[in-house]
Amino acid sequence: AFEVELRRTGRSVTVPAGTSVLRALREEALPDLPYSCEQGFCGTCQQRVLAGEVAHRDELLTDAERADSLLICVSRAKPGSGLVLDL
Ligand code: FES
C-alpha cells in the first residue's frame, strides 16, 4: 500500500495492493474522476503528479508527459514512495 496526497482537495488516500489509484480515489474521495478503459491505453484518467516517484505501467504516455503526469488506472508509486497529485 502507499499514500496518495490530493494537494488541492487537502486529503490523503491509501491505495492498497491490488487496487488502482483510480479506484481508491473514486471510492474514498473523488467519485467523479474520469476514466474509460482502465487498461492504460485511452488516456482519459491522466492526472498531474506534483511529487513522488511514479512506476509507469501504461503504453501511452511519452517520456515528456511522464515527467509530470501519470495514468492513474494502471500506474502506481514506486516502492517506498507516495504520490502527490494535483487534485
Ligand atoms: Fe484509460 Fe486510464 S482509463 S488509460
Residue 30 one-letter amino acid: L
Separation between Cα atoms, residue 70 and residue 77, nearest integer Å: 10
Distance 13 CA to ligand 1 centre (A): 20
CB of 71 shorter than 6 A to ligand 1: yes
Sheet holding 2-6, edge to edge: 11-15, 2-6, 83-85, 46-52, 69-71
Write down the ipTM of this complex: 0.99
Residue 84's H or E segment, with its range, is strand 83-85
- Whether the predicted model's global pTM rises above the 0.90 cut: yes
Which grid coordinates belong to 49?
A: 503528479
For range 39-49, the mean pLDDT:
98
Separation between Cα atoms, residue 54 and residue 36, nearest integer Å: 21
For range 36-61, the mean pLDDT:
97
